């Protein structure tokens, strides 16, 4: 991938209305073998704009979107694990205090 394509993708991801640099492609269509028309959306202010970009720039945009999704999923996974640990800690604490009885699960077993 060319550095120019990376820079073009960064320019497209930078919002013209706010200071976000997290814009992402929402709609894209191939114009010909080399060019794509893409609609970019800012997740911060919801502004949208259309641009015509090269195939390589489109690949960079998709790669950046994939990497962004991976970061979000890792953060979400960490939040879920934290919440599960907190729930498990509360459950074990309640068990230790005899606050949980078999009747608490009777509805789930039927």
Residue selected from 5, 8, 13, 15 as contacting Zn ion according to rule CB under 5 A? 15
Task: Look up residue 68 and give its two tokens.
Answer: 């962004």
Answer for the pair 65, 49: CB distance below 8 angstroms, yes or no.
no
Residue selected from 6, 10, 11, 20 as contacting Zn ion according to rule CB under 5 A? 20
Residue selected from 1, 4, 7, 18 as contacting Zn ion according to rule CB under 5 A? 18
Is the alpha carbon torsion for 39, 40, 41, 43 positive or negative? positive
Least spacing, CB of residue 44 vs Zn ion, in Å: 4
Closest CA to 22 of 82, 88, 67, 55: 67
21 binds Zn ion (CB under 5 A): no
One symbol per residue from 29 to 58: x for binding Zn ion (CB under 5 A), - otherwise; what is it? -------------x-xx-x-----------
Q: Which is nearer to Zn ion, 45 or 94 (CB)?
A: 45
Separation between Cα atoms, residue 99 and residue 7, nearest integer Å: 59
């Amino acid at each position: 991938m060319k550095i120019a394509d990376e820079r073009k993708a960064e320019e497209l991801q930078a919002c013209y209305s706010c200071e976000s640099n997290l814009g992402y492609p929402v709609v894209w269509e191939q114009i010909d073998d080399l060019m794509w028309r893409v609609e970019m959306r800012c997740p911060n202010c919801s502004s949208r704009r259309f641009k015509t970009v090269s195939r390589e720039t489109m690949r960079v945009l998709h790669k950046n979107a994939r990497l962004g999704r991976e970061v979000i999923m890792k953060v979400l996974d960490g939040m879920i694990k934290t919440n599960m640990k907190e729930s498990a800690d509360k459950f074990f604490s309640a068990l230790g205090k005899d606050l949980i009885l078999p009747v608490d699960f009777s509805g789930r077993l039927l």
